[in-house]
Amino acid sequence: MAEVTLDNVTKRYEDVTAVDSMTLDIEHGEFVTLVGPSGCGKSTTMETIAGLTLPTEGTVHIGGRDVTNLPPKDRGISMVFQNIALFPHMDVYDNISFGLRLRKYDQEEVDRRVEEAADIVQLEGMMDRMPSEMSGGQRQRVAIARAIVRDPDVFLMDEPLANLDAELKVHMRTQLQRLHKQLDTTIIYVTHDQAQAMTMSDRIAVIDAGNLQQVASPLECYNTPTNLFVAGFIGSPSMNFMDGEITEDGFTSEYATIDFDPTTHDVEPGQRVTLGVRPEDVHLERDQSDAAVATRTFNVVTDVLEPMGDELFVYLLMERDVEASAEGRGEGQLLMSVGPDTTIAEDEEVTVILDREKIHLFDTNTGDAIVHGLEPKSVPEP
Ligand code: ADP
């Protein structure tokens, strides 16, 4: 059994705290992805699990054993990194079996393990190829096979798909999931790409500035993000945000008011809140049946359209004179995702509604989520 536990792990480099009191329990057999923007501390966390760096404080346990001060080779782990280093003068068989031969496994055992690993990553028939004769994806599969033959308790993968082209990335994503299904091992995976994290993992650990923000299933992070950071980071394109204030009647901002009863939503009049709604939860009024419970309508003007094939992104200006920001969405701009066949033009006046059940409220000051989904507004007695 190879559960991995980080207990209060902190890693400081002079004045940089790369990892800040991180506590994380990963169960045996789980596929957990550490995800966050560049520089947030993902690799450093991974290096402390691998034993490539020692934490300044805290402990690491693998399979119930305190490995905090053990070298990598004694931890029962195998690593696959972004920059795969295959031996250029060795063929596939020799590359995969190198570690086993170094450890003096007998030939029969080496052959058995290499064959099994090659089968899992679909490299059969390529044993004699040299790395220079292979594509990037094939080379990456050799690196993964080399990790598999060691029969590790835990796989550590740090951006292993980063150097592959988009199509191959998607292909390797499914391969890695299959690998996880076949091998009874724990996989810890690092990526800055939230799409990779969402598609492959049992749970994702979202990190910002060395701090864990949320550890939960991909859908939980998507549907009930714990704070503004997770809400903005998970999901592409990202959630729309509007800064405003709570009133006696609900939410108000420069561009929008939405009615609800503050007393049933854990907010108080005067409180500064940020309203969040995902692009797919903004609907044209004429398609309002797409929303479970609609808010009041908003008159907006369409700005730029982005047809993606399977969906259509429509940038909306909540007022005509809103300045479109060069750096994405600013205040008063809203991104709507609609069906690809929707008839809509640029600079068109349209009426949209939001899905009340999909509106999130966050405390603007702390960033913490307050409410996921507004209740349907009770109709006042006549
Ligand atoms: P990520 O993998 O999320 O991109 P890293 O773990 O590589 O982030 O880095 C986290 C922070 O720690 C960054 O600010 C980085 O500059 C710093 N850092 C990482 N390694 C070192 C090191 N060896 N010396 C000094 N600072 C480092």
Domain ranges for the chain, please list them: 4-232, 237-372
Q: What contacts 219, CB < 8 A, 6 or more positions away?
A: none
Alpha carbon distance 10, 229 (integer Å): 21
Torsion sign over Cα 339, 343, 347, 351? negative
The residue whose two tokens read 């690196």 is: 143
Alpha carbon distance 281, 359 (integer Å): 8
- The string of pLDDT tens digits covering residues 42-77 is 999 999 999 999 999 999 999 999 999 999 989 999
Q: Helices 107-120 & 166-182, crossing angle to 10 degrees?
A: 130
- The string of pLDDT tens digits covering residues 7-43 is 999 999 999 999 999 999 999 999 999 999 999 999 9
Q: Measuring CA to CA, how many Å separate 333 from each of 134, 255, 330, 347?
A: 47, 9, 6, 14
Q: What's the 105 CA to ligand 1 centre distance in angstroms?
A: 37
Q: What is the pLDDT of residue 369?
A: 98
Poorest-pLDDT segment among 225-229, 235-239, 283-287, 367-371:
283-287
Q: What's the 72 CA to ligand 1 centre distance in angstroms?
A: 19
Whether the model clears a pTM of 0.85, i.e. scores above it, the answer is: yes
Ligand 1 atom at minimum distance from 190 CA: 2
Fold designation for 237-372: OB fold (Dihydrolipoamide Acetyltransferase, E2P) (2.40.50)
* Ligand 1 binding site (Cβ under 6 Å of any ligand atom): 13, 16, 18, 36, 38-44
Torsion sign over Cα 76, 25, 223, 316? negative
Q: What is the mean pLDDT of residues 237-253?
A: 95
Whether the CB-CB separation of 239 and 246 falls below 8 Å is answered with no
Ligand 1 atom at minimum distance from 37 CA: 3
Burial track 318-335 (b if 16+ CB lie within 10 A, e otherwise): beeebeeeeeebeebbbb
Ligand 1 atom at minimum distance from 45 CA: 6
Please give the residue that has the higher pLDDT: either 92 or 167: 92
Atom 10 in ligand 1: which residue has the minimum CA distance?
Answer: 41
Q: Residue 376 has which token pair?
A: 């349907």
Q: Give the class (CATH, top level) of 4-232.
A: alpha beta
Q: What contacts 301, CB < 8 A, 6 or more positions away?
A: 316, 317, 319, 320, 347, 348, 349, 350
Q: What's the 310 CA to ligand 1 centre distance in angstroms?
A: 38
Atom 16 in ligand 1: which residue has the minimum CA distance?
Answer: 39
Alpha carbon distance 344, 322 (integer Å): 20
Apex 303 CA angle, 299 and 307, nearest 5: 115
Alpha carbon distance 229, 174 (integer Å): 28
Q: What is the pLDDT of residue 382?
A: 46
Report whether pLDDT(281) > 60.
yes
Atom 15 in ligand 1: which residue has the minimum CA distance?
Answer: 39
Atom 26 in ligand 1: which residue has the minimum CA distance?
Answer: 13
Q: What's the 34 CA to ligand 1 centre distance in angstroms?
A: 14
Q: What's the 293 CA to ligand 1 centre distance in angstroms?
A: 45
Chain centroid, CA 289 distance in Å:
30
Q: What is the pLDDT of residue 353?
A: 93
Query: Which residue, among 26, 77, 23, 25, has the nearest Cα to 50 in the 3D structure?
Result: 77
Q: What contacts 275, CB < 8 A, 6 or more positions away?
A: 241, 242, 244, 251, 253, 256, 258, 359, 360, 361, 362
Q: Measuring CA to CA, how many Å separate 21 from each of 11, 207, 244, 255, 315?
A: 8, 12, 33, 40, 40
Which of 13, 17, 33 is the best mutation target for the ligand 1 pocket, counting ligand atoms within 8 Å of the beta carbon and taking the most?
13
Report whether pLDDT(380) > 60.
no
Whether the CB-CB separation of 238 and 318 falls below 8 Å is answered with no
Q: CB-based burial of residue 1 (10 Å sphere; 0-12 exposed, 13-18 middle, 19+ buried)?
A: exposed
For residue 144, report the phi and psi dihedrals to the nearest 5 degrees. -70, -40
Q: What is the pLDDT of residue 8?
A: 98
Alpha carbon distance 41, 35 (integer Å): 9
Q: What is the mean pLDDT of residues 85-97?
A: 93
Mean per-residue pLDDT of the chain: 91
Q: Residue 327 has which token pair?
A: 């750096």
